[in-house]
A and B are shown apart, each in its own frame.
Chain A
Amino acid sequence: MSETPPTPFDDQHDSSGHPEDHPNLPGLDELVDSGWEPHSEEAQHLLDTLQPLEALRETPPAEDVLVHATLARIKATPTPSAPSSAATPSSIATGGGFGSGFQFRLPDLFGVAASLLLATSILLALGRGAKLHSRDELCGANIRALGTAVESFASDHRREVPSSNWNVVPSLATVRQFVDDGYCPHQRVNCPCCRGEKKGISFYSVQVGPGRIRVDRLDPRRPIVGDPNPLQVANMLGVPAPGPMSGALSHSGRCSHLLLGDLSVRSSRRPVWINKGRVDAVWVPRGHTSLPKFALIDPQDVFLAR
């Protein structure tokens, strides 16, 4: 085939656009309406363009053996009784053959949708659980890093460490001193679960006396650094203070990490009472509905509410 008939749309080529955006070809509608009898120059031109299609005009006839085979299949297939409700043309026109014998019906779709929803929920829950677990682990690692920072600081400062009151805001700045003096990276003084981090207020709290104190005089079982004090965080975020039985501001009430006076780290999944007999810090996990009988908690008291 050496000759190339000129196409009537050489100047309209636009292969990038949507097919249905193309302008109409003059004469084509006329050709279709007239049974492909050209009555204009444009129509004749289009017909010439499509002339190569004539090579497909000749097709083999359907052989008798094909017809017989078709009839044999039909006769071997009992006619189903007419359905009580009218079938839709599309459903009739699709079923059967070439692996498409199964037709989706509404209950099937609901079943599939419900299964997908369930699988998605499980995956999301698993993902959320893994994320929280990862944050818990990171928080514990941060507390351990702070213990190392305290030890290093004490070594360089005649065994003394900075201290402040436990439940006043400046105590947060005390931890910050470890960062400023290069004993601890900045990210190690932030609980990864605390929403206050963006405002720079999610530092771990330090419970030591005012001024400086020698580390060997610290009560070995008394927490000196812990997860953020939720009352302080709420105060600085400007949100209502959580009640003692409230849910978590962080960790989803799953655990608590404390650096004790002997610089060991305690990670607890159970409520923690400090100074038995006089509760000044308690971790109330999600799901608890009552406090111990000696829990006389003042909102200003420090407790590691979760």
Chain B
Amino acid sequence: MTGFALHLHAFGSSDDSTDSMAQTVPVDLQAESDERLVKLHVDGQPGAIDELIRRHRDELFGYLVRFTGSRALAEDVFQETFLQIHLSAATFDVDRRLKPWLYTIATNKARDARRWLRRRPSVSLDTPVGGSDDPVSMVDLMPSNGEDPQSPLQGAEQSKRVRAVVDRLGDAQREILLLTYFQRMPYAQVANILNIPVGTVKSRLHSAVRAFGELWGEESER
């Protein structure tokens, strides 16, 4: 997508290539740090935000899918998150690390999205439609680009059950569990993202792990 050697006109841009003061400084965006990319984006460097998104797209999107439990919702939050980064980039302190800021915004947006979704209950795609003799659900009427419907069935069922258990954790426990377990973040970084003390992160994670174990135990006994 991006990450090519671009040219930045330093000391004021000029179209006159013969101007001795005009220097073109090649910027290798791929070699720049996240924080520097934000600075470059604020300075109007084309491609800087593209590179930032490219670096974090999959990891952040995975986090959002796990957090929201919905791919569609995760896509909305993903866009909102980077739009917020764009809007607030000028206020970013380049001496601080970007990743905690990015995940702070993403987590807050994801929380808002879940609340928003709870206030607007939607019709499940499993809702029966049509006559009662041979009921079909809305999802049956939608075109599918999946491959073999049988092969991932068991895995999908397992994911659904785990998803349900994770959803039963409160927001506070779920986000800490996801950040530490899947994103491999240390306590201090999670504390920074959630703006809570490290001790609170620890105790919440212990509670979350305990709660998950108990809920999964109940789920398995069904």
| Chain A residues near B (Cβ < 8 Å) | 1-4, 7-9, 12-13, 15, 19-20, 22-25, 28-29, 32-33, 35-36, 46, 49-50, 52-53, 55-57, 59-62, 66-67, 69-71, 73-74, 77, 79-83, 86-87, 89-90, 92-100
Given A70-B53, A73-B79, A97-B80, 13 further pairs, Cβ under 8 A: A7-B210, A24-B206, A25-B206, A28-B205, A53-B181, A67-B53, A79-B42, A86-B93, A87-B91, A89-B195, A90-B195, A93-B84, A99-B112
B205 partner, pick from A32, A53, A56, A71, beta carbons under 8 A: A32
**Chain B residues near A80 (CB, 8 Å)?**
87, 90
- Cα A19 to Cα B209 in complex, Å, equals 11
Given known contacts A22-B203, A66-B79, A92-B105, is B113 in contact with A98 (CB within 8 Å)? Answer: yes
B50 partner, pick from A71, A81, A94, A100, beta carbons under 8 A: A71
Q: How far is the CB of B199 from chain A (nearest CB, A)?
A: 9
A62 partner, pick from B57, B76, B177, B212, beta carbons under 8 A: B57
Of B86, B101, B202, B210, most buried by chain A (CB within 10 Å of CB) is: B210
B158 partner, pick from A1, A36, A73, A74, beta carbons under 8 A: A1
Q: Is chain B's binding surface mostly helix, strand, loop or mixed?
A: helix
Binds A, one of B12-20, B125-133, B140-148, B182-190: B182-190
Given known contacts A70-B82, A71-B53, is B91 in contact with A86 (CB within 8 Å)? Answer: yes
Q: How far is the CB of B217 from chain A (nearest CB, A)?
A: 5
B207 partner, pick from A22, A66, A86, beta carbons under 8 A: A22
- Cα A70 to Cα B162 in complex, Å, equals 30
Contact with A along B66-84 (1 / 0, CB 8 A): 1000010001111110111
**9 shortest A-B CB distances, which residue pairs?**
A82-B90, A59-B62, A19-B207, A62-B61, A7-B213, A97-B80, A62-B57, A98-B116, A20-B203
- Cα A29 to Cα B214 in complex, Å, equals 19
Q: How far is the CB of B38 from chain A (nearest CB, A)?
A: 12
Q: How far is the CB of B43 from chain A (nearest CB, A)?
A: 10
Let me know if B78 and A52 touch, CB within 8 A: no
**Chain A residues near B204 (CB, 8 Å)?**
19-20
- Cα A87 to Cα B217 in complex, Å, equals 45
- Cα A170 to Cα B110 in complex, Å, equals 78
Q: How far is the CB of B69 from chain A (nearest CB, A)?
A: 9
Q: How far is the CB of B111 from chain A (nearest CB, A)?
A: 9
**Chain A residues near B217 (CB, 8 Å)?**
4, 7
Let me know if A22 and B206 touch, CB within 8 A: yes
